[in-house]
Amino acid sequence: MIEDMKFLEEQAELLKVIAHPVRLCIARGLWRSGSCNVSHMQCCLEVPQSTVSQHLGKLRQAGIIEGERNGLEITYRLKDERVKAILSCLFSQ
Amino acid sequence: MIEDMKFLEEQAELLKVIAHPVRLCIARGLWRSGSCNVSHMQCCLEVPQSTVSQHLGKLRQAGIIEGERNGLEITYRLKDERVKAILSCLFSQ
DNA sequence: TTATTATATTTGTATATTACGATTTTTGAA
DNA sequence: TTCAAAAATCGTAATATACAAATATAATAA
């Protein structure tokens, strides 16, 4: 019997949110550049606007990113330290 | 346009394999203890034998674990360094 | 041999995830 | 006001995943 199943489920959930090529790409981009607005992500990723927005929604809901509105645009940035650490495991050198 | 989409897809796939509470529990257990046989995992996890075996199959197929047979039993161990690094991000102190 | 234990694989099915067009909301400018 | 741009949400079809029962395989002992 595992006592901390709840904790394991939370960590698995965190991994699941970044375990998608588009979301991982967004997270890595934010980790590298600091911030980015949605339009720019869209043209980099070459997927429809609604698809990008849905992936951003998942990342946002998980508390991995947060957005700040500047006029029409919303600029996102990474805000989860565990995710930053995982990204550095996967993408450092 | 992202040039290394293939690489991103591989890394996302790796994350997806460990992004499940049972598989994450198995991976963490092997990371902590070095090795474990299937029967012992089963009684810790309290899920049916076929379910444990299917999760082990996914981990094995992804190259994250490998098993060695000793008589009737098979002892697994972690063999992926990236996964060890991710586990230490999630579970160190 | 036959029986038993440990593990893997197959199969059916329920559930979850994903993609994407259409629509809506929010904001700022004319 | 009205319009256009940026982003979010909705509806839904396609795909993937998880699960457990049943069956198969591998190793050992009697």
* CATH of range A1-91; options 3.30.200.20, 1.10.10.10, 1.20.1090.10, 1.10.8.870: 1.10.10.10
**Average pLDDT by consecutive 10-residue portion of chain B (93 residues)?**
94 98 98 97 96 98 98 98 98 85
pLDDT in tens, A8-49: 999 999 999 999 999 999 999 999 999 999 999 999 999 999
Chain-centroid distance of CA B55 in Å reads: 8
Amino acid (one-letter) located at B24: L
Residue range A52-67: mean pLDDT, rounded: 98
Number of Cβ atoms within 10 Å of the Cβ of B46: 10
Structural tokens at position A61:
């809901």
Contact status, residue A52 vs residue A41, Cβ threshold 8 Å:
yes
Q: Answer whether B24 sits within 8 Å of A8, measured CB to CB.
A: yes
Phi, psi of A47 (to 5 degrees): -130, 160
The domain limits of chain A are 1-91
Phi, psi of B86 (to 5 degrees): -65, -40
Which of A24, A30, A88 to mutate against chain B (most B CBs within 10 Å)? A24
